[in-house]
Structure 1
Amino acid sequence: MQLTDNSRGALYMSIAMAAFTLNDTCMKAVTVTLPLYQAILLRGGLTCIALLIIGWRMGALRVRIAKEDRKWIALRSLGEVAGTLTFLTALRQMPLANLSAILQFLPLAVTLTAALFLREPVGWRRMSAILTGFFGVLLIVRPGTAGFDLWSLVGLASVACVVLRDLVTRRLSSSMPSAMVALYAAISVTVTAAILLPFGGWAEVTLGSALLIAGASGFLIIGYLLIVMAVRVGEISLVAPFRYTALVFAIALGWAVFGQLPDTLTLTGAAIVIATGIYTFHRERRLGQKVAIPETAPLRIR
């Protein structure tokens, strides 16, 4: 049976989410034995090499940046660096599925921020969905209760940083190759990790640690390639909701690798966030507007 373009796009998106979650799993596992900044530096080095090869093969390598893009690249890189550090810091302390559940609020947060700062129109239905989704986040974070985890706020900070990154990316000119945007982000993260390395120390890299770092980098690149294929093959409004399969993979891997399962309130909050996110995707499709999935989702570096 031959798959339609939208079916292939949905499949690519789902596999990409699995790859990104496997990357997160590898990083969470390796930071048990390696300092965080060392792990980021080693993975970043491998990722930069891979992106250089991809950019070269695509004929997209470009040293010079157009003047109008320079400030946006700098600001985007800042958001990428801050998002990576806060995400991985939270990941070391939190169950994988809990952090993944918080991150599902990202598309709604992008829509809200675009409405507030870019004056993009958001009707009352989508605004209601965003507020309902935020209620779902509160169920996951549970501020002021016995179940509150301070590291959840670090996870929310990561969402804020990624929102900044994705909104800034919309300002880049169409002449800026995606592979180069990803490469600049990877270099920024890697250089920052190198600068912070003295504060975290260096540990011996065992064979197991090396395999986890290589796996994290490999899964990151696989996710990058597949998500590009997903948004090019299928309609974004139909393919984008499959990004929420990341939570399913996070729950499965969190249980299989770390023996951690989210509680009922976390799952309820996640279900609310996902439902409102899917509603927003389809509402924007009906209105013929740009779907609020970050258009640079394939450039995720963390």
Structure 2
Amino acid sequence: MPLSDNAKGALFMSVAMAAFTVNDACMKAVTQALPLYQAIFLRGLLSTAALVLIAARMGGLRISVEPGDRKWLILRTVGEVGGTLTFLTALRHMPLANLSAIMQFLPLAVTLAAAVFLHEPIGWRRLLAIAVGLAGVLLIVRPGAEGFDRWALVALASVGCVVLRDLTTRRMSSAMPSVTVAVAAALSVTVTAAALVPVEGWNAVAPKTAFLLGLAAACLIAGYLMIVVAMRVGDIGHVAPFRYVALVVAIGLGWAAFGQLPDGLTLAGAAVVVLTGIYSFHRERRLGRVVAVAAPPPPR
């Protein structure tokens, strides 16, 4: 029996989230052997080259940018670079599952920011869902608790950067090709990492590390391509909640690769964030205002 379009979309979204999480696990392992900025730079070279090739094949890469889009592209790139650097810095020091749980607050954060800065309509039910989701994040972060450290704040800074990225993306005109935006972001992250390499220095790259970097770049590209396919074949309101597959995969990989499992409070907070996020997606769907994957994954 052939799969329905929604089933295909859910499958592609699940594969995308798994690919992103494998990328995260690879980068966490790589940054234990290489300086952070060197790792970001090397992965960036691979992913940017792949994106340029894909863009050339699709014929959607455009160097010129409409005057009205330039400001938004610059601001989006700032968010992309900031999100990548803060996310991978936090990833280097935090358990994979804990960071993934915090990042699941993104859809709710983008919804709130869109209401505040873009004046998009938001009702009391979604405001309540955002407040409950924030309470779940506080369970994970636990400010003032003995287990709290500054890396949780870095993770929250990454959330803020991605909110900036996504809000400015919404302000771009439809004339701006998505592949141009993706190449600009990847290139900017790579150039920024190259400029920061002298801060930490350069280490020799072992074959195992080189393999992990290549796998990370491949999973990163595959994840973004799978999301595009998922959004095109399935109903957004049905497909988007499957982004939370990333958390399940992160818990499994964190245990298998690093021997790290989240504690009870972290799991409880993650459950609260996921449930409020799913509620928000379904509420948007009922109101007919679902926007393509309310918040894409962080730029990693």
TM-score grouping bracket, smaller chain normalisation:
over 0.9
Conserved? CA contact 1:133–1:277, under 8 Å: yes
Q: Which has the larger displacement, 195-204 or 145-154?
A: 145-154
Alignment match, 2:220: 220
Q: How does 1:35-46 map to 2 (within 5 A)?
A: 35-46=35-46
Give distance in 2, aligned partners of 1:101 and 1:61.
34
Partner of 2:79: 79
Task: Give 2:281's aligned residue.
Answer: 281
**Separation of aligned partners in 2, 1:191 and 1:6:** 39
In the alignment, the residues of structure 1 paired with residue 229 and residue 290 of structure 2 have an alpha-carbon distance, to the nearest angstrom, of 18
C-alpha distance in 1, partners of 2:4/2:205?
45
Residue 292 of structure 1 and its aligned partner are, at CA, apart by 7.3
Corresponding residue for residue 94 of structure 1: 94
1:229-268 Cα offsets, whole Å, 9 max, x none, are 0001101111000000100000000000000000000000
In structure 1, what is the Cα distance between the partners aligned to 2:53 and 2:289? 35
Hey, what's the Cα distance between the residues in 1 that align with 2:14 and 2:290? 21
Once the 2 structures are TM-superposed, how far is the Cα of residue 281 of structure 1 from its aligned partner? Answer: 0.4
Q: Does 1:128 align with 2:124?
A: no
* Residue identity matched to 1:170: R
Pairing 1:19-30 to 2, within 5 Å after superposition = 19-30=19-30
Q: Identify the residue that residue 52 of structure 2 maps to in structure 1.
A: 52
TM-score (norm 1): 0.97
Cα distance in 2 for residues equivalent to 1:150 and 1:61 = 39
Deviations 1:72-110 (A, max 9, x none): 111000000000000000000000000000000000000
Equivalent residues of 2:231, 2:292 under 8 A apart:
no
1:181 aligned partner: 181
Tell me: CA distance 1:104–1:175, structure 2 relative to 1, closer, same or farther (3 Å): same
Q: Which letter does structure 2 place at the counterpart of 1:28?
A: K
| Identity over aligned pairs, percent | 67
RMSD: 1.1
> What is the alpha-carbon distance in structure 2 between the residues aligned to residue 145 and residue 21 of structure 1?
27
Contact preservation (8 Å) 2:142, 2:148? yes
Gap change, CA 1:131 and 1:259, over 3 Å in 2: same
Matches within 5 A, 1:1-302: 1-291=1-291, 293-294=293-294, 297=296, 301-302=299-300
**Cα contact 1:12–1:226 (8 A) shared by 2:** yes
| Residue identity in the other structure for 2:269 | G
Length, aligned pairs only: 300
8 Å CA contact 1:97, 1:262 repeated in 2: yes
8 Å Cα contact 1:107/1:292 also seen in 2? no
Cα offsets for 1:23-47 (capped at 9, x unmatched): 0000000000100000000000011
The answer to whether the Cα contact below 8 Å between 1:82 and 1:158 also exists between their aligned partners in 2 is yes
Distance 1:294 1:181, change over 3 A: farther
Q: CA deviation at 1:147?
A: 2.2
Question: 2:53 is matched by which residue type in structure 1?
Answer: I
**Alpha-carbon contact 2:40-2:190 (below 8 Å) kept:** yes
Deviation at 1:71, TM superposition (A): 0.9
Aligned mates of 2:171, 2:60 — CA distance in 1: 19
Of residues 116-125 and 96-105 in structure 1, the stretch that sits farther from structure 2 once superposed is 116-125
Shift of 1:177: 1.2
